[in-house]
Structure 1
Amino acid sequence: MPRKTYSEQFKRDAVAVYENSMEGTFNSIAADLGINRNSLANWVDKYGTGKRARRSREQAHAQQVSDAERIRQLEKKLAIAEEERDILRKATVYFTKEMNS
């Protein structure tokens, strides 16, 4: 089977498709383009800008920030619930003493 040669522009376009797709994998994009997965991986190494990796890191950082914010909110709710519980315990003790007197 003869080896296919692709133009540099095709290679760069394939890399752009990969970098602009967050869901696409090497396998799925290579299959869509009708090329070998390893060829695409090599082209990404050669022509890639790292855009996808940066975007992935930025999303991971945003997720960490939102997780930290969610934890902060949950801790605040927990503190309120504990305070309400303590008030109810004190009220129970108070009213129990009043009824026994």
Structure 2
Amino acid sequence: MYENDPDVALNDAAEDLGINRTTLHKWVDKYSTGAKTKQLTDAEKIRQLQRENAQLEEECDILRKAVKYFTEQTKK
């Protein structure tokens, strides 16, 4: 996942995963394939971002519905 993204720093990946940076560094040293995968084309990046955007929109919609539901419950 992160190995394929050259823009992600080890510290950022460790923080995202909720683990210690040193632990992640040891895992990378031990299990890394060492192979850099090809960069995504612009079209692939766009498709990936569109999928991510759709997922985020769905999550926001769920949260909006939850806020509406709980707001109505407190008014009763």
Which bin holds the TM-score, normalised by the shorter protein?
0.3 to 0.5
- TM norm structure 2: 0.47
- TM norm structure 1: 0.36
Which structure dedicates a bigger proportion of its chain to helix? 1
Please identify the structure whose Cα radius of gyration is greater.
1
